[in-house]
Amino acid sequence: MNSSTFPIPISRARSILSDWGISNPQEIDLDLIAAELGILIVEKDIAGSAARLVCVGRSAIISINQHIREVGRKRFAIAHELGHFILHKHQTPGTICTEESFFTWYNQSVGVKEANVFAAELLMPESLFREHIVKTTPDLKTVQRLSGEFNTTLTATAIRYVELGELPCAIFASCAGKVKWFSASQNFPYKLIKPGSNLHEYSCANDFFKNGSAPSEPETVQAVAWFENYEKGSRCYLYEQAIPLPLYNTVLSLIWIREDQNRSTEFEYCESPLDPEKFTPDGKRYRW
């Protein structure tokens, strides 16, 4: 999703960052920001949801499910509810949000998308985030480092990286052998397989669900594994790097176009002679 289509949430988040004089990620203290807005944050057992917002006059209470383990997930949930408060409190005095609300943006309401855009800009300000990714090649190790520096989840950080990175790339989340959701950079030139699709046997992500492990380093895969159009996908190659999240039975896959293919959106350019001896023994992938 292109956050630039939601200028108001971005503007509101940047206003907070400016008011607080924030110049590095460690200064983004959600508890203090919430307190200044008259919002109390509590952790409690919330059945069926990850976070809730209840507005009472000019104040509010944000409840976060106490069973959420990762600090980054809690922070995104809090920032998301702060977004609802700042953007929607006059229309909606309360919200109930699930984990799906935070990441599967493609099928969410406008209000949920706006809250996500607000949270992403508040936690990973574009000006600061871009400083960390300029002239970088897509790599999940970079995403992991940024996740630590911004104290955000790997998933949210990967989405932000895809959105703001210089090279065309996309992040996929797969669960139980199927594509759950994906987020692609605005300049990614090809249509990708839809959520709900079965993973292709050529994908690195499929290795995890089939064999219990996935390659830790980027591998070249035939684009048919991730492209919607089979004919075009069979004539192009991508890099795929996968990180399994066994606790959630999920794999994150970062894919990007080989450097020698970035200069053209014509699939004819993708065609290049391949050495048959460099294919993996099962014939699924090509080692460079």
pLDDT tens sequence for the chain (288 residues): 556 688 999 999 999 999 999 999 999 999 999 999 999 999 999 988 999 999 988 899 999 999 998 999 999 999 999 999 999 988 888 889 988 888 765 557 888 999 999 999 999 999 999 999 988 889 999 999 999 999 999 999 999 999 999 889 999 999 999 999 999 999 898 999 999 999 999 999 999 999 999 998 999 999 999 999 988 888 888 999 999 999 889 999 999 986 555 444 443 345 444 555 555 656 566 554
Is 91 within the bounds of a domain? Answer: yes
Residue 143 lies in a domain: no
Does the residue 158 lie in any domain? no
Residue 25 resides in a domain: yes
Q: Which of residues 89, 104, 124 is at a domain's end?
A: 124
User: Domain boundary at 89, 124, 159, which?
Assistant: 124
In a domain, 134, yes or no: no
**207 and 105 inside one domain:** no
Q: Could you say which of 124, 156, 180 is where a domain stops?
A: 124
- Give the C-alpha separation, 175 to 95, whole Å: 27
Per residue in 87-118, is it b (16+ CB within 10 Å) or e — as a string? bbbeeeeebebebebbbbbeebeebbbbbbbb
Provide the residue range defining the domain that includes 115: 3-124
Number of structural domains, the chain? Answer: 2
Same domain, 68 and 175: no
Q: Report the predicted TM-score, pTM, of the whole model to 2 decimal places.
A: 0.87
- Domain membership flag for residue 173: yes
**Are 116 and 190 members of one domain?**
no
Indicate which CATH number applies to the domain containing 9.
Answer: 1.10.10
d(CA 151, CA 67) in angstroms, rounded, equals 18
